Amino acid sequence: MKIIGLIGGLGPEATVDYYKQIIEAFKDNWGHLNYPEIIIYSVNMSEFLELMETRQYENIVSMLVHKIYSLKYAGADYAALTANTPHLLFDRIAEKSPIPLISIVEATLDEAMNKGIRRAGLLGTAFTMNNTFFADVFSRKGIEVVVPDPGDKEIINYKLFSEIELGIFKDDTRLILEGIIEKMTKEKGIDSIILGCTEFPLILKESSYAGVPVLNTTAIHVSEIVKYCSGKLPVNQSLNQ
């Protein structure tokens, strides 16, 4: 098996979920305690967010590439960023990365195509919803990506950083998020919802909401990570290097 490298901490709750899901995948499919080697570099989230807010993108690229080099020197054969937001800069990071990277956006696109999705709603941080890196990738296959109304974006971002990223999962917050999905289904005609923050699956745990399927980016990403680790995923399928 290949050695997995994870850039974590963006945020910590999702990083823990990645680790658990990877282990569970091998427990279910390989058994006999035959778990993969995993190296995690947990990033200072506050530092990352400050750079994002001030659009110091070159500094973010340099910071994350430096940490990927650390994963390589520690023995990782490939790596993944365990958050959607830094995928805004994925191509620039992958270009400088010393090891292959698995894209959460490309992996989610593959899943959307498998499900025949044509118009996907997107929930995420304000950085993710206000940028077009999901839409740009999905549009290559004729899939439209739709974001919530401005007021709903503010609510989502606030709930993410005041509760969910801190490991606080409230029923009323879940109902608010479900309401936004239902509103997007009725008013924007979405046929699916992308949980474009890897903390969302910790509070939105159903496979569908408002009658549309969920694209759980954490689970989708983990599946690709596991496939490559076990040699079941060709390098040119979902890896950028």
For the chain, which residues make up each domain, given as ranges?
4-104+219-240, 107-216
Same fold, 4-104+219-240 and 107-216: yes
pLDDT of residue 233: 54
Q: What is the DSSP letter of 121?
A: E
On whether the CB atoms of residues 105 and 139 are closer than 8 A, the answer is no
Ramachandran angles phi, psi of 22, nearest 5°: -65, -45
pLDDT of residue 115: 97
Q: What is the pTM of this model?
A: 0.92
pLDDT of residue 241: 45
pLDDT of residue 232: 67
pLDDT of residue 30: 61
Nearest to 78 by CA among 88, 87, 68, 92: 68
pLDDT of residue 236: 37
Check whether the bond before 11 is cis (ω within 30° of 0): yes
In the predicted model, residues of the chain with pLDDT beneath 70 are 28-31, 232-241
Helix (H, G, I), strand (E, B) or coil at 193: strand
What is the architecture, at CATH level 2, of domain 107-216?
3-Layer(aba) Sandwich (3.40)
- CATH 3.50.30.10 holds for 4-104+219-240: no
Report CA torsion sign: 97, 69, 82, 36. Answer: positive
pLDDT of residue 238: 44
CA distance 121 to 196: 9
pLDDT of residue 2: 96
